[in-house]
Amino acid sequence: MEQHAIITGDIVASRRIAPLQKEMLYSDIDEFLRSLKKKWLLDYETYRGDSIQCEARSPELSLRVALIIKSYVMAYTPEEIKKKILRSQKKDAVPKGYFNVAFDIRLAIGIGAVDFIKRKLSSSDGPAFQLSGEALDNLKKDDNRRLVFKTANEPLNADIEPVIYLLDALTQKWTQNQAILVLNKLQNKKDEEIAKLFKISLSAVYQRKKTAQWTAIEKAVTYFEIKLKK
């Protein structure tokens, strides 16, 4: 039976976000998810303002997609902070992101069959949706975790769980500049492209890769993708 990868998520502590800031954040997340449909997503939906649900193009891509979404949210800079930084920098300078993240998101990956998929993912059903939804509900009860993976295959769950735990621990320590770096590397951008995009030196890119633990993240994602292809 064909396997589907459903990712369900919600913004952490969304009630504490100022209304105007919240409106812009939700709008930008929706626009970002729409851009991912070109390569990474089959479909997505935002609902209740602070919640998302999407289907990765394949189960093996689901962890990469989840981390892309997570790194986008953690890299997100409120508009008023962007303006403040730009006012303090030289003309055309790019904010370097040397500050703590302002936002975070819980994400639950559920992989399994589906009974049916409607035009709205929230109206769809099947094991993949149920696994993802139940995993997110459990995640909300644990303040120490932000990322979880679940299938009906318990041996596979046991193989993947340590990887998810380690990635979760690493990502929770990111600063915004580290999240931005990983966001671009996960989408297969070369170091030279990132340096040009953010107007920084290659040595600065290498330093960000080091502090973000990019090599460990890359190996973990590659391991996941190989396991899920089998």
Instruction: Walk along the chain (230 residues) in steps of 10 and give the mean pLDDT of each run.
Output: 94 90 92 95 90 96 98 85 56 54 93 90 91 95 94 96 96 92 97 94 94 96 93
Residue 57: exposure state from Cβ atoms within 10 A (0-12, 13-18, ≥19): middle
pLDDT of residue 122: 80
pLDDT of residue 101: 76
Which of 174, 59, 142, 83 lies closest to 185 in space, CA to CA? 174
Q: What pTM does this model have?
A: 0.91
pLDDT of residue 81: 59
Separation of first and last alpha carbons in the chain: 14
pLDDT of residue 6: 97
Q: What's the rounded Cα separation, in Å, for the pair 200 and 206?
A: 11
Cα-Cα-Cα-Cα dihedral of 103, 32, 135, 101, to 10°? -20
CA 204, distance to chain mean position in Å, is 23
CB atoms within 10 A of CB 199: 11
pLDDT of residue 131: 97
pLDDT of residue 79: 64
pLDDT of residue 151: 97
CATH superfamily of 4-229: Nucleotide cyclase, GGDEF domain (3.30.70.1230)
Q: What's the rounded Cα separation, in Å, for the pair 209 and 184?
A: 11
pLDDT of residue 92: 54
